[in-house]
């Protein structure tokens, strides 16, 4: 049986209006996440990765304007449906300890959506499974190490029973070994039939752990590719940016990409990567480049074949 | 935990003693520079007291001795609990302070509770929706209040509610010409309401503004975002995470406001002729009643110190980061 598609994002754009100035933070973003898969969303800082997670949850600041369509199991995500889905069907695995209430013991923070007795027992069992000692239940966030924090946050996600997990940068600040450990947990979630959206700037780890990789650049999606396409010299990849990102990794030759990603204020309608692209032609600067399917993935580049 | 609490209390005690010593030194120094002559203040306008007698009074009080020795004498009698006799009331200073403080306690207590509760409420209302009409209105009101002198607020209230509307008496703490045992609770309340309102209006603004600021910060915090991502509604999230985090600055402010409270009561009591400690301070100052003035200075130092210590103690219990910190001491 084909795995069900849980999340569909079609042509999502997010703009912020502040003091009459409109800034585009995300534009024309389309992707899907299926049951049983890990979809990694990679990109540099400021590419709009975390914003994507907040947009899916409907938790953007008040001055954000969202266009496009997002559905969960075919149901449109909006102000009416999201309050029922947040924390039950869709949940966030945040990136750091600051997402925990500094004044509440972590055990309680994991189980508070449930009734106390049942929740406490289940949390204790989960903590044991994740190798956290029972005393951790009574600890406060400031007393946790980075690895412990991740495991506490993972426990909360498991306990929620949510099917779609948005994991926002779960690995920074962890040793390579601990990070791999964390990613193994994500893989376990996928095996249990959940869909995991892994937001990360670590392409290396993303390729190692995810099924598909979506590459974000300057607020837009340049490519989605099966993780196995990130191999050798990156010839199987569709977009020049993905290729240069891949080849910039130390083990792939350490070739730097010159130039900088445009910031939200200076974004253009045409290909945002054109100024840095080795394959650019006059055509790239002329008009917006649409996202199109190509070889089992998607790409936003007129030259890709 | 027990050891830590003991260390905390011992530290506080040492701090209190050193603070009191410093307050003694400073106020003694200031008063010795002041133009008030204690003998002059004592004999008053009486012309029957000869120069000879004045010198004898000065010698009796030890005023002929050098300042350092006078300070030592004064300090040693304070240490024994003897603050001297009030020239104005011809009674021991401690008795006067005790009696006056009781009257002020009513006033300050009511004002303190009102300003805390209303300030917190207004702060939450304003901070909940930053930039909303509520927020703008409340912020404007608070800024207006904090830039208005307390005595002026008192005079306006007095004018409106006591003079024009006649709802409340114009002054004092009990009706004139009524025996002590015939004074009812209603009498006392109707006399205390206007000064208490004046005092609470003065104290409310900073609490409301700080609460607003903190609530906005809390609403922007990562942990509130996470709470919402887990399906908590606005009020549940506020109750579960907001209030406790909000309580930290609120408690500190509320107890640290003892200083403003006392300062405000000096003005409010003067406007309403309310016979409390604040008014006693004004009278002692204006009439050169040095023992009473020094007594009130020391008492108010202690009062403010106790307020701050309560704030520290409560923070210690509310905030696990302080309670469980590896190295103790606040």
- A164: tokens are 């779609």
Query: Of how many residues is chain B composed?
Result: 330
CB within 8 Å of B5: residues ≥ 6 apart: none
Distance of alpha carbon A216 from alpha carbon B264, whole angstroms: 60
What is the nearest CA distance from A245 to chain B, expressed in angstroms? 30
What is the share, in percent, of chain A residues with pLDDT greater than 90? 53
B85 band by pLDDT with thresholds 50, 70 and 90: confident
pLDDT > 70? residue B47? no
Residue of B nearest to A168 (CA): B226
Distance of alpha carbon A207 from alpha carbon B132, whole angstroms: 46
pLDDT of residue B27: 87
B46 band by pLDDT with thresholds 50, 70 and 90: low
Per CB-CB distance under 8 Å, the chain B contacts of A160 are 230
Pick the CATH number of B93-323 from 1.10.3720.10, 3.40.50.800, 1.20.120.10, 1.10.10.10: 1.10.3720.10
As a whole number, mean pLDDT of residues A227-242 equals: 90
pLDDT > 90? residue A77? yes
Asked if B322 has any chain A CB less than 8 Å from its own CB, the reply is no
Other C-beta atoms closer than 10 Å to the C-beta of A245 total 23
Per CB-CB distance under 8 Å, the chain B contacts of A100 are 223, 226
What is the nearest CA distance from B127 to chain A, expressed in angstroms? 15
pLDDT > 80? residue B39? no
As a whole number, mean pLDDT of residues B152-174 equals: 84
pLDDT > 90? residue B78? no
As a whole number, mean pLDDT of residues B130-140 equals: 92
pLDDT of residue A285: 86
* Of B100 and A172, the one with more pLDDT: B100
In the block, tokens 């915090």 appear at: B221
Residue of A nearest to B321 (CA): A142
| Best to test chain A binding among B229, B247, B317, B323 (most A CBs inside 10 Å) | B229
As a whole number, mean pLDDT of residues A171-184 equals: 83
As a whole number, mean pLDDT of residues B178-199 equals: 81
What is the nearest CA distance from B224 to chain A, expressed in angstroms? 7
Q: Which residues between 110 and 139 in chain A have a beta carbon less than 8 angstroms from any beta carbon of chain B?
A: 112-113
pLDDT of residue B140: 94
Per CB-CB distance under 8 Å, the chain B contacts of A102 are 223, 245, 320-321
pLDDT of residue B326: 55
User: What pLDDT, in 10s, does the model give residues B271-294?
Assistant: 888 888 988 998 888 888 888 888
Domain ranges (residues) in chain A: 5-89+162-299, 102-161
Integer angstrom CA distances of residue B1 from A45, A229, B7, B59, B317? 44, 58, 10, 54, 11
B328 band by pLDDT with thresholds 50, 70 and 90: very low
Closest CA to A299 of A31, A49, A80: A31
Per CB-CB distance under 8 Å, the chain A contacts of B321 are 102, 140, 142
Looking at every residue in chain B, the average pLDDT score rounds to: 85
Contact call for residues B114 and B134 (beta carbons, < 8 A): no
pLDDT of residue B128: 87
pLDDT of residue A304: 85
Of A83, A100, A142, the CB nearest to B321: A142
| Best to test chain A binding among B130, B226, B318 (most A CBs inside 10 Å) | B226
Pick the CATH number of A5-89+162-299 from 3.40.50.300, 3.30.565.10, 3.30.1330.60, 3.50.50.60: 3.40.50.300
pLDDT > 80? residue B308? yes
Cβ distance B230 to A87 less than 8 Å, yes or no, reads: yes
Cβ distance A142 to B232 less than 8 Å, yes or no, reads: no
Asked if B219 has any chain A CB less than 8 Å from its own CB, the reply is no
Looking at every residue in chain A, the average pLDDT score rounds to: 89
**CA A31 to chain CA centroid, nearest Å:** 11
What is the nearest CA distance from A218 to chain B, expressed in angstroms? 24
Cβ distance A100 to B324 less than 8 Å, yes or no, reads: no
Asked if A1 has any chain B CB less than 8 Å from its own CB, the reply is no
Of A91, A99, A142, the CB nearest to B222: A99
As a whole number, mean pLDDT of residues A168-174 equals: 85
What is the nearest CA distance from B230 to chain A, expressed in angstroms? 4
pLDDT > 50? residue A296? yes
CB within 8 Å of B188: residues ≥ 6 apart: B106, B173, B174
Of A92, A102, A143, the CB nearest to B226: A92
Contact call for residues A213 and A237 (beta carbons, < 8 A): no
pLDDT of residue B222: 93
Per CB-CB distance under 8 Å, the chain A contacts of B226 are 92, 94, 99-100
pLDDT > 80? residue B42? no
pLDDT of residue A2: 66
Domain ranges (residues) in chain B: 2-79, 93-323
| Best to test chain A binding among B230, B244, B319 (most A CBs inside 10 Å) | B230
pLDDT > 60? residue B312? yes
What is the share, in percent, of chain B residues with pLDDT greater than 70? 96
Residue of A nearest to B233 (CA): A83
Q: Which residues between 52 and 71 in chain A have a beta carbon less than 8 angstroms from any beta carbon of chain B?
A: 54, 57, 59
Q: In what order do the strands lie in the sheet with A220-226?
A: A90-93, A164-168, A195-200, A38-42, A212-217, A220-226, A297-299, A292-294
Residue of A nearest to B248 (CA): A103
Contact call for residues B241 and B223 (beta carbons, < 8 A): yes
Asked if B268 has any chain A CB less than 8 Å from its own CB, the reply is no
Cβ distance A57 to B229 less than 8 Å, yes or no, reads: yes
What is the share, in percent, of chain B residues with pLDDT greater than 90? 22
First to last CA, chain B: 14
Of B229, B244, B318, the CB nearest to A87: B229
DSSP bridge partners of A7: A33, A72
pLDDT of residue A106: 93
pLDDT > 70? residue B45? no
Nearest-10 crossing angle of helices B133-146, B93-128:
150
Weakest-pLDDT range from A86-95, A109-118, A258-267, B309-318: A258-267
Weakest-pLDDT range from A6-15, A209-218, A240-249, B186-195: B186-195
Per CB-CB distance under 8 Å, the chain A contacts of B230 are 86-87, 91-92, 113, 156, 160
Cβ distance A140 to B227 less than 8 Å, yes or no, reads: no
Question: Would you list the DSSP string of B55-79?
Answer: HHHHHHHTTTS-HHHHHHHHHHHHH
Of B222, B231, B319, the CB nearest to A94: B222
pLDDT of residue B330: 42
Helix, strand, coil shares of chain A as percentages rounded to 5?
A: 35, 25, 40
B1 band by pLDDT with thresholds 50, 70 and 90: low
Of B226, B227, B324, the CB nearest to A140: B324
pLDDT of residue A91: 94
């Amino acid at each position: 049986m084909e795995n069900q598609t849980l999340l569909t994002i079609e042509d999502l754009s997010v703009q912020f209006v502040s003091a009459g100035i409109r800034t585009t933070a995300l534009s024309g973003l389309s992707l899907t996440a299926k049951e049983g898969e890990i979809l990694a969303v990679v990109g540099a800082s400021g590419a709009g990765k975390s914003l994507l997670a907040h947009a899916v949850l409907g938790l953007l600041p008040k001055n954000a304007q969202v266009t496009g369509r997002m559905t969960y199991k075919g149901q449109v995500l909006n102000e009416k449906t999201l309050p029922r889905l947040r924390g039950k069907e869709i949940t966030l695995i945040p990136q750091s300890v600051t997402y925990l209430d500094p004044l509440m013991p972590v055990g309680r923070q994991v189980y508070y959506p449930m009734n106390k007795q049942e929740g406490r027992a289940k949390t204790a069992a989960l903590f044991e499974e994740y190798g956290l000692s029972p005393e951790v239940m009574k600890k406060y966030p400031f007393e946790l190490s980075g690895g412990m924090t991740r495991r506490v946050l993972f426990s909360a996600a498991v306990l929620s029973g949510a099917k779609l997990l948005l994991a926002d940068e779960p690995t920074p600040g962890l040793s390579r070994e601990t990070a791999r450990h964390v990613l193994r947990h994500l893989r376990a979630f996928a095996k249990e039939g959940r869909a995991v959206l892994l937001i990360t700037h670590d392409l290396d780890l993303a390729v190692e752990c995810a099924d598909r990789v979506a590459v974000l650049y300057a607020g837009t999606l340049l490519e989605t590719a099966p993780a196995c396409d990130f191999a050798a010299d990156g010839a199987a990849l569709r977009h020049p940016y993905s290729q240069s990102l891949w080849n910039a990794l130390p083990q792939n030759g350490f070739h730097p990409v010159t130039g900088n990603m445009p910031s939200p204020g200076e974004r253009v309608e045409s290909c945002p990567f054109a100024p840095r692209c080795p394959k650019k032609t006059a055509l790239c600067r002329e008009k917006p480049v649409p996202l199109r399917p190509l070889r089992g993935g998607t790409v936003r580049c007129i030259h890709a074949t | 935990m027990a050891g830590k609490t003991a260390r905390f209390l011992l530290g506080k005690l040492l701090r209190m003693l050193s603070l009191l010593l410093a307050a003694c030194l400073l106020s003694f120094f200031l008063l010795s520079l002041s133009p008030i002559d204690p003998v002059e203040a004592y004999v008053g306008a009486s012309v029957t007291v000869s120069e000879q007698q004045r010198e004898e009074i000065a010698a009796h009080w030890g005023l002929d001795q050098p300042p350092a020795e006078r300070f030592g004498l004064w300090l040693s009698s304070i240490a024994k609990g003897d603050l001297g006799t009030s020239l104005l009331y011809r009674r021991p200073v401690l008795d006067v302070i005790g009696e006056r403080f009781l009257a002020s306690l009513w006033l300050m207590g009511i004002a303190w509770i009102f300003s805390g509760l209303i300030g917190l409420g207004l702060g939450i209302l304003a901070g909940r929706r930053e930039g909303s009409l509520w927020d703008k209105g409340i912020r404007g009101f608070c800024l207006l209040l904090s830039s208005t002198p307390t005595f002026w607020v008192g005079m306006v209230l007095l004018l409106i509610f006591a003079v024009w509307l006649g709802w409340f008496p114009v002054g004092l703490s009990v009706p004139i010409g009524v025996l002590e045992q015939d004074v009812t609770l209603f009498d006392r309340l109707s006399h205390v309401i206007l000064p208490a309102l004046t005092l609470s209006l003065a104290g409310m603004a900073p609490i409301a503004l700080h609460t607003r600021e903190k609530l906005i910060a809390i609403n922007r915090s990562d942990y509130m975002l996470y709470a919402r991502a887990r399906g908590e509604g606005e009020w549940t999230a506020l109750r579960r995470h907001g209030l406790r985090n909000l309580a930290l600055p609120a408690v500190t402010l509320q107890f640290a406001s003892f200083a403003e409270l006392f300062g405000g009561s000096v003005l409010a009591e003067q406007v309403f002729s309310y016979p409390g400690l604040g008014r006693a301070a004004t009278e002692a100052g204006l009439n050169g009643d040095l023992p009473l003035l020094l007594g009130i200075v020391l008492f108010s130092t202690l009062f403010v110190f106790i307020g701050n210590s309560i704030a520290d103690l409560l923070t210690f219990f509310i905030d696990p980061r302080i309670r469980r910190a590896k190295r103790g001491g606040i």
